[in-house]
Amino acid sequence: MLTLRKSEERGYASHGWLESYHSFSFADYYDPKHMGFGPLRVINDDWIAADMGFGTHGHRDMEIITYVLEGEIAHKDSMGNGSTIRPGDVQRMSAGTGVRHSEFNPSPENKTHLLQIWIQPSTEGIAPGYEEKNFSREEKLGRLRLVASKEGEDGAVKIHQDAKLHVGLFDGDQSASLNLAKGRLGYVHLASGQLTVNGVVLRAGDALMLQDEDQLSLSHGVQAEVLVFDLPQ
């Protein structure tokens, strides 16, 4: 079964310095039909103004992945980590028993566009952890590159859940496919451009949910950047 959710159907919040589109219920946006998908709990599509950001705040028992599309974000946390995340980087923070962090757009003039992703862990109460890796454009061009998984295979960051996140860049006649094991869910978020997934045309901000499908096929990209999740039910 394929379920399309259009970009404009997402929740939206504007805080002046922050514009955020919510794929699932978050903060003041509540939709009982969109509370998550498997263990995937949050995809926030954030635009952060220059010289602005999120002050220090806390999280518990969540796998938090930051994926920057444009610009950069400076990160500091209570574990002692501090770095600047740019396009191509994948940051994973396991909140576990509790962590505090801040995120700030260090540019004096340019907005930052990023996706913040929350995945519920399979085990609560773990020790907090942090990991960051870079994946080049060439690694993602015309293919699905694994960037996060439970085992961390192929150089992916490790998450505490039996889930996989792939990213890819598609344009023209480039195509790729991903097999979904029986009982697994597929979730596709198109970050930019246009892409056809299992015959359904997606545009930037659209999502496609797959249930009881054995394969996910991507083709006919137009400057497309896509995130693909392979999830347990």
Q: 92: burial class by Cβ within 10 Å (0-12, 13-18, 19+)?
A: buried
Per-position pLDDT tens, the chain of length 233: 999 999 999 999 999 999 999 999 999 999 999 999 999 999 999 999 999 988 889 999 999 999 999 999 999 989 988 899 999 999 999 999 999 989 989 999 999 999 999 999 999 999 999 999 999 999 999 999 999 999 999 999 999 999 999 999 999 999 999 999 999 999 999 999 999 999 999 999 999 999 999 999 999 999 999 999 999 99
Report pLDDT for 53: 85
* Domain range 2-232, CATH architecture: Sandwich (2.60)
pTM: 0.96
Of the candidates 83, 87, 64, 86, which has an alpha carbon nearest to the alpha carbon of residue 75?
A: 83
Report pLDDT for 32: 95
